[in-house]
Structures are given as structure tokens and as C-alpha cells.
Amino acid sequence: MRDEGIEYASRLFRAGVSVELHQWAGTFHGSQALLSASVSRRRFDELCAVVERALSD
């Protein structure tokens, strides 16, 4: 899914859409469910901040 996400973000960017692409080393699809892991907690917190910024615009 990583490569597809990068490609999707690239296409959106080329189309003039504002894009944020975040990659987290050591994570995998669904790892956000493991909030006891510090990287998963940071990832979840950043996702919440991104959504909050998007909704406040």
C-alpha cells in the first residue's frame, strides 16, 4: 500500500491538490491499532492533527 499511497499523493499534487504525505518507518498497515507502541501513538497523534487542520480550513 505504501507505493500506491505515494503514487496517489503524487497524482493529486500534480493535479494541483494540496497534499500531505506522511511515512512512518517501522509501521505497517493497521499498526495504528497498536497504540501502546510509541511510533503508533505519534502516528495517531499526527493523523488527528492533520484531520483537525483540514477541517478548520
Residue-wise pLDDT for 5-27, tens only, equals: 899 999 999 999 999 888 877 77
Does pTM surpass 0.85?
A: no
Indicate if the pLDDT at residue 53 is higher than 80: yes
Indicate if the pLDDT at residue 50 is higher than 80: yes
Mean pLDDT of the chain: 85
- 26 torsion bin: left (phi>0), alpha (psi -120 to 50), beta (else): left
Indicate if the pLDDT at residue 44 is higher than 70: yes
Query: Residue 5, CB half-sphere, CA atoms under 13 Å: how many?
Result: 9
